[in-house]
Every structure is written in C-alpha cells, then in structure tokens.
Amino acid sequence: MSSDLDVFVGNTTLIDEEVYRLWLDGHSVAEAVARRLRGGVLEREGTSVAVLQSDTRDHYRTFQMLERLLHAPPRLLQQLLFQIPPERQALLVQRYYAFDEALARELLGKKLSKGTKKELDEVSARTGVGIRSCRRQFDNFKRVFKAVEELRGPLAENIQQLFLLPPALARDYAAIVFSGIWGLWERFWGFLGCPDPPFSSRDYAAIVFFANSRFETGKRRLQFLSFGDFAACAQSMMAHWSQGALAPEAADPDGDLPKSFLQDLKELKVLVSDKDLLDQHKSLVCSALRGKISVYNELEANFKALSRALVNVGGKLTHARDVRDFFVDLVEKVIEPCRSDKWSPGDLRLFLTHYTAAPRNLPGFRHQALWERYMAAISACLLRMYHD
C-alpha cells in the first residue's frame, strides 16, 4: 500500500530548522532522510522511516514553494499564502542568505557570469560546500548585486531593506558588492576598457563603476587574505570614502561625490612628488617615532618608498585598470616590505597614525581633510591585512 499523495498543511506553516538546514545545504529528500536518521530522531520520537520520509517531503515542498518568495524577502512579509510568525520569517531569510565564507572567498574576483556558475563544480569540490548550495549562494550574490546596483543610498541599508537581512549580514553583502568582485553588467563593461571613464551625471555611476572595477583578489600573493579581510576592507572604504556617494541625499549636491573624491586624490600626489614636502613629512614622522618603534632604522630607510606606495594607490583609483590592483599594490608595496623588515602590527599602527597626522604640520599642504579621509580607510585596510 503506497501513498501516492501525502500532504500536511498547517494554518501556521511548520518550519523544521533541521530540515531547512538540510534543504539549504542542497541535500535530496533521500539524503536528508538518511541524515535525520543518523541524527537519531527515530529513537527520540519512536517513529518510523516512512513517517520521516513523509515529513521531510512535506517540508521540502513547503521550502520549494517558499523559495520564490525568498528571492524577494519583502514579498514574504506581504504574501498571504503562508502564515509564518515574524521571527520565523526572519530566520528563513537569514538562513537563506547566509553564505559560506570559503565559497565567498573563492568567488572573490570572479565575474558572476554563467561561466563562473559552470565552474562552481570545482569550487564546490575545493570548499566542501555542496554544489546545489553553491549555486544557490551564487544566485543570491547575483540577485543582491542586481537589486542594489542602481539604487541610491547607503549600500548596506539598501540591502537590509530589500532583503530584510540583519545588519551584520547586510554589511557583508554590501562589502561584496562594493569590493566589486563581479562585473556583471555589460553596459558597464565598457568603463573597464576606458582609461578615464566617462562618469555619468548620475550620482551612482561612480560607485557602480567602482564596484565594477573588480579588485584583483585572486592573485597568489593575496591568498593569505580571507573573505573576512576583504569584507572588512571594503567596509572601511565605504565608511570613510563614500558617505557622500552612498547617501547623496544627505550630502551637498555639488559636494563630496566619490567622483570628485577620487579625482581629488590625485592632488595628494604632491606629498611624494614635491621633494621638500616628502622630506619634511619624513622628518616629522621620524622624529615622532624615534624610540617608540622597534624598526626605526628600517622605517627611516624605507619611508620614501612606503609613502610613494601609499599615495600612489589613491592616485590610481580613478583608472579602472589600476583599481583592480588596489589590494595587490597594498600587499606588494606596503605589507610585504614591512613584513620582511619584521614590523610588528603595533609598529605599523603607530607609523600609520603619525604618518597620517604629520601633514597637518606641513606648510603649504592644503588637503589635510582629504588626506585624513583617504588614510583612514587605507590604514584600516592595512591593519586588517597585516597578518600571516
């Protein structure tokens, strides 16, 4: 006697967290049943395998029906089909959009294209994340990116509102989007080829450009950086550099857009191109750090190289091709030299503090505010990235 049809529908939709997890991980019904069996549910509840199968199938069907709504979480709140208590809804969304960091790290620097999706098999094998789960997470990234791509306002808040994610998770997504891991949009592809991108008058263009410029993250020398490192860097860049661009309503309309910010960064070159300024800067920093830092000699020897690297990274940000080298440059020209000279993180912190503060006392340097805003993010990134 086989059951052809077997459904259970509650007025309040039953959500079994364990089964949801199994479904999210991409297990088939049979696999899920096997796993639940291993979990010892039979012994606990004294039931039969048939019951477990029927229960699992019911949940899977529910999740499949819910998935459509999960793609646009605000619809989950408004829909009438499933009556789900708010805290359960939140759980559904959060778990659905949660991602494996290992996977995110793998995908950093790759296009969210069909080609990448086809490579997910390998990614799955490398990371141990199930292939179906990989595809779902990949689609999530793609969906979030697409949804906020053309929106004004702070990225993280937009994502939070559009996908009803908790702030921390929304910030992670924002970081991913921001760090421009994926250039999906053909119409922006053109920018990447342009030496000097034609910024549109629309405010968001700069940030979309920035996002699409795809920081290089896949290079071998960047392998030691985790997804968390990149996310943190992206977050500090957003925090310090983009408040104007990301919240244009809040800013003066003609004011501080990243477009102008990035353009303005070129002005900072004076710090390294003007020999006087460079020397004065060096002496100010060195005098402040003498005796306080264990690697004083190395600092003195390398100051000019370091300063050049730090300033030039910013100067290159307006060029799409160079933007992608942002992290590579930081690692190659700052982190690696310091590491070989055995700077401690404390040394680096102290140096950056004084290095940032010193120009205040430089006569004839007029970009103090810009400089500090720029350095705040750079310092945060460096400190985050300065590990083994």
Residues of the shown chain interacting with other proteins in the complex, contacts defined by CB under 8 A: 1-14, 45-48, 50-52, 54-55, 57-58, 61-62, 64-65, 75, 77-83, 85-86
Nearer to other proteins, 19 or 103 (CB): 19
Nearer to other proteins, 13 or 158 (CB): 13
CB of 195 to other proteins, least distance (A): 36
CB of 86 to other proteins, least distance (A): 7
CB of 148 to other proteins, least distance (A): 19
Nearer to other proteins, 57 or 259 (CB): 57
Instruction: Report the alpha-carbon distance of residue 388 to residue 385 in Å, rounded.
Output: 9
CB of 22 to other proteins, least distance (A): 16
CB of 48 to other proteins, least distance (A): 7
Neighbours of 294 (CB within 10 A): 14
Nearer to other proteins, 86 or 193 (CB): 86
Give me the DSSP letters along 21-85.
HHHHTT--HHHHHHHHHHTTHHHHHT--HHHHHHHHHHHHHHHHHHHHHHTSHHHHHH-SS-B--
CB of 52 to other proteins, least distance (A): 8
Neighbours of 328 (CB within 10 A): 16
CB of 137 to other proteins, least distance (A): 24
Nearer to other proteins, 11 or 201 (CB): 11
Position of tokens 């549109």? Answer: 200
Contacts of the segment 99-102: beta carbons below 8 A, 24+ positions apart: 99/137, 99/140, 99/141, 99/172, 100/127, 100/129, 100/133, 100/137, 101/226, 101/227, 101/228, 102/127, 102/128, 102/129, 102/227
Name the phi and psi angles at 352, rounded to 5. Answer: -65, -40
| Torsion 233-235-238-240 (CA) sign | negative
Instruction: Report the alpha-carbon distance of residue 110 to residue 214 in Å, rounded.
Output: 8
CB of 102 to other proteins, least distance (A): 32
Nearer to other proteins, 79 or 161 (CB): 79
Nearer to other proteins, 26 or 244 (CB): 26
Residue of 148, 137, 149, 79 lying closest to 108 (CA atoms): 137
**DSSP run (H or E) holding 261:** helix 258-265
CB of 57 to other proteins, least distance (A): 7
Q: Look up residue 12 and give its DSSP letter.
A: B
- Both tokens of 281, joined, read 């800067």
Integer angstrom CA distances of residue 148 from 6, 117, 136, 256: 41, 21, 18, 21
Nearer to other proteins, 132 or 333 (CB): 132
Nearer to other proteins, 4 or 252 (CB): 4
